[in-house]
A and B are shown apart, each in its own frame.
Chain A
């Protein structure tokens, strides 16, 4: 069964605003990853946070991980119209052959 649950399912904001997406999971993880998918395209890896890390930054992206609450959040600061896409969290678990369990995604729309 799928482990990742994301909210909101859809988010619409204006350019320049910040976008926050949340992900919850059910069992212990090795790491948690965030991916982006533009319409009609494959997924592209954004950032990976390990289970022993609490926060990570990459450009305008900030990811937090709270293993006690089994949740993560992705913050995109100063959003741009080009950030319009679907965002997925994915969890990896020990001894699972590299498999990832994906959430259902958040559809982000950034209006110019």
Chain B
């Protein structure tokens, strides 16, 4: 099992460019999440999905869009990148189990720089 994988690992964009970050998981998890991590800020939830075809906004959704067309994939899009979106982006997944939320499994991250 590869777990949670993210592509690309690194990317440099110019202001105004667009890009899509891909997250894939092979654990058949229902829930998937996109976070950004900035120095001193911990992880902040951008968008999440509780199942194929459904998405919802997290804490910091502005400037991002997501899609979950297949259960195993969760895409994060930046339509017009801004320097404020320079960050490390993490994808995570978790199973839906009785008794409430369980552990999340994280990908290795994508380091994005917007110039």
A interface, CB within 8 angstroms of B: 1-2, 4, 30-31, 33, 40-45, 48, 50, 88, 90, 92, 94, 96-105
Complex: chain A residue closest to B56, CB-CB: A97
Q: Contacts A43-B92, A92-B100, A100-B104 known; list 20 others, CB within 8 Å.
A: A2-B44, A4-B42, A30-B100, A31-B101, A41-B108, A42-B107, A42-B108, A42-B109, A45-B104, A92-B101, A96-B101, A97-B56, A98-B31, A98-B101, A100-B33, A100-B101, A101-B45, A102-B42, A104-B41, A104-B42
Q: Is the CB of B103 within 8 A of A48?
A: yes
Q: Does B48 contact A (CB under 8 A)?
A: yes
**Cross-chain pair count, CB within 8 angstroms:** 68
- Chain B contacts for A43, CB-based, 8 A: 43, 90, 92, 104, 106
- Chain A contacts for B90, CB-based, 8 A: 42-43
Q: Which of A88, A98, A99 contacts B42 (CB 8 A)?
A: A88
- Chain B contacts for A50, CB-based, 8 A: 100
Q: Does B94 contact A (CB under 8 A)?
A: yes
How many angstroms from the CA of A101 to the CA of B100 in the assembled complex? 14
